[in-house]
């Protein structure tokens, strides 16, 4: 991957939906952001609570802006005893389920956020989606 394109965004969303349907069918919301955290794709599967759409978007945003997984961001907040408000950005979230998408050169080109399952499952699915491992 060299850059986040609409085709790549579609592949990620489609892969997440197929994976979610295949492993028990529990629905999820999936958001894809560009490297700056701007939303470029969003899908809410049937049956998912609306709040999960909000969570997925914030998870993707956080992964892009912080250039790390939201699980790692949560760990940092806990380890360094930081209040999330210190970052002066109300759109950040420490909820696991967000992962950056990396280019071949290691730069962050976007991010994906997943919500609807337990935190560890959201995070695992987001990491796999960011790597296109379906």
Average of pLDDT values for 72-96?
Answer: 98
C-beta of residue 28 within 8 angstroms of C-beta of residue 117: yes
Residue 113: the pLDDT is 98
Q: How far apart are CA 25 and CA 17, in angstroms?
A: 9
Kindly list the structural domains of the chain, giving each domain's residue range(s) and its CATH number in brackets, ordered by start: 6-130 (3.30.450.150)
Mean pLDDT of the chain: 96
Answer whether residue 23 shows pLDDT above 90.
no
Q: How far apart are CA 39 and CA 17, in angstroms?
A: 18
Residue 106: the pLDDT is 94
Average of pLDDT values for 66-92?
Answer: 98
């Amino acid at each position: 991957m060299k850059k986040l394109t609409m085709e790549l965004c579609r592949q990620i969303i489609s892969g997440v939906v197929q994976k979610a349907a295949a492993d028990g069918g529990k629905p999820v919301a999936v958001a894809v952001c560009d490297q700056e955290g701007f939303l470029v794709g969003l899908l809410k599967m049937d049956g998912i609570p609306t709040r999960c759409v909000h969570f997925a978007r914030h998870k993707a945003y956080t992964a892009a802006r912080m250039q790390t997984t939201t699980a790692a961001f949560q760990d940092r907040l806990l380890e360094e005893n930081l209040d999330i408000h210190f970052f002066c950005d109300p759109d950040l979230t420490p909820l696991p389920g967000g992962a950056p998408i990396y280019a071949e050169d290691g730069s962050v080109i976007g991010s994906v956020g997943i919500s609807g399952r337990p935190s560890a499952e959201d995070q695992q699915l987001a990491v796999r989606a960011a790597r296109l491992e379906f």
